[in-house]
C-alpha cells in the first residue's frame, strides 16, 4: 500500500472523476446548443464549486457548478436582464492575521448576488483572502472544452487567488459583467 493509496485518496479521486464526467457532459450539451460566449467570469464558492457569468446573444447566462463531492449537477440559467446587488467586504485581520492558525486574515473586496428565477441568490465573491477567480476567453475556457481534462482536474484549480494588490483590478473586471456597475 503506497503513501497515497488509502481510502480517503481513493474517494477523492472518485469524486474528481465524477465531477469531470459531469463537466464533460455539460460542455457537450452546451456545444450542441451552440453556446460559445467570448469570455466568462468565474468565482469560486466555499463548497468547492463556482458561479460563472457571461453575456451571449443579448442575454446574460449564469452557470452554477456542483460543489465538490455533491450529487448536484451543473445549472445553466438565462436572463434578459440581470437583477443583482453588491456588498462591499472589509474585515480587519485579528490576532496574528491567520499566521500559524492564530487570529483571522483580513478580507477586502466585494460580493455580488444575482437573483435567480426561483428567488434565491447566486453568489460571486471577489474577496482577497477568501476565494479564487478567473476570467476566461472562449479559446481558454476549460468549462466549455468537450474533451476530458488530464487527470480529472477540477476547474477551480485554474482559478487564481485574489491578491490584495489586485482587488481593484478584479472588481473592475467583474463590474464589466454587471449592468450599471
For residue 133, name the pLDDT band (cuts at 50, 70, 90).
Answer: very high
Q: Give me the percent of the chain exceeding a pLDDT of 70.
A: 90
Per the structure, how many domains does the chain have? 1
- Considering only residues 92 and 152, tell me which one the structure prediction assigns the higher pLDDT: 92
54-113 confidence digits (pLDDT tens) = 999 999 999 999 987 788 999 999 999 999 999 999 888 766 555 555 556 678 999 999
Considering the domain boundaries, does residue 2 fall inside one? no
Considering the domain boundaries, does residue 22 fall inside one? yes
- Cβ contact 10:126 at 8 Å: no
What's the whole-number mean pLDDT along residues 35-44? 96
pLDDT for 2:
55
Task: Provide the 10 A C-beta neighbour count for residue 65.
Answer: 27
pLDDT for 99:
57
- Per the structure, the complete domain to which residue 63 belongs is given by 7-81+131-175
Q: 117-123: long-range contacts (C-beta < 8 A, 24 or more apart)?
A: 117/77, 122/51, 122/62, 122/64, 123/43, 123/45, 123/51
DSSP string for residues in 162-179? --GGGHHHHHHHHHTTST
pLDDT for 152:
65
Considering the domain boundaries, does residue 135 fall inside one? yes
Considering the domain boundaries, does residue 39 fall inside one? yes
Q: What is the mean pLDDT of the chain?
A: 88
pLDDT for 129:
79
Considering the domain boundaries, does residue 116 fall inside one? no
Strands 132-137 and 160-161: antiparallel
Determine if residue 174 is left, alpha or beta; phi over 0 gives left, psi from -120 to 50 gives alpha, anything else beta. alpha
Considering the domain boundaries, does residue 75 fall inside one? yes
What's the whole-number mean pLDDT along residues 119-132? 92
Considering the domain boundaries, does residue 123 fall inside one? no
Q: How are the residues of the chain apportioned to helix, strand and coil, as percentages rounded to the nearest 5? A: 30, 35, 40
Q: Give me the percent of the chain exceeding a pLDDT of 90.
A: 61
Considering the domain boundaries, does residue 67 fall inside one? yes
Q: CA torsion, points 24, 25, 26, 30, in degrees to nearest 10?
A: 100
Residue 32 has pLDDT above 80, yes or no: yes
d(CA 139, CA 89): 32
- Considering only residues 157 and 43, tell me which one the structure prediction assigns the higher pLDDT: 43
pLDDT for 124:
97
Enumerate the β-bridge partners of residue 114: 84, 122
Closest CA to 48 of 72, 84, 28, 24: 72
Q: Which value, in Å, is the radius of gyration of the alpha carbons in the chain?
A: 18
pLDDT for 15:
82
d(CA 124, CA 86): 9
Output the pTM of the full model. 0.87
Amino acid at each position: 500500500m503506497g503513501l497515497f493509496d488509502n481510502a480517503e485518496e481513493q474517494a477523492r479521486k472518485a469524486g474528481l472523476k465524477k465531477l469531470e464526467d459531469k463537466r464533460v457532459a455539460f460542455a457537450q450539451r452546451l456545444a450542441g446548443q451552440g453556446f460559445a460566449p467570448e469570455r466568462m467570469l468565474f468565482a469560486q464558492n466555499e463548497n468547492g464549486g463556482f458561479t460563472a457569468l457571461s453575456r451571449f446573444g443579448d442575454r446574460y447566462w449564469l452557470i452554477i457548478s456542483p460543489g465538490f463531492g455533491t450529487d448536484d449537477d451543473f445549472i445553466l440559467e438565462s436572463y434578459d436582464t440581470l437583477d443583482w446587488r453588491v456588498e462591499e467586504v472589509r474585515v480587519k485581520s485579528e490576532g496574528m492575521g491567520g499566521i500559524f492558525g492564530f487570529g483571522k486574515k483580513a478580507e477586502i473586496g466585494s460580493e455580488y448576488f444575482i437573483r435567480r428565477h426561483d428567488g434565491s441568490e447566486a453568489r460571486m465573491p471577489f474577496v482577497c483572502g477568501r476565494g479564487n477567480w478567473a476570467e476566461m476567453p472562449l479559446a481558454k475556457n476549460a468549462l466549455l472544452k468537450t474533451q476530458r481534462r488530464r487527470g480529472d482536474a477540477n476547474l477551480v484549480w485554474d482559478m487564481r487567488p485574489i491578491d490584495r494588490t489586485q482587488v481593484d483590478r478584479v472588481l473592475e473586471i467583474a463590474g464589466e459583467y454587471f449592468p450599471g456597475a
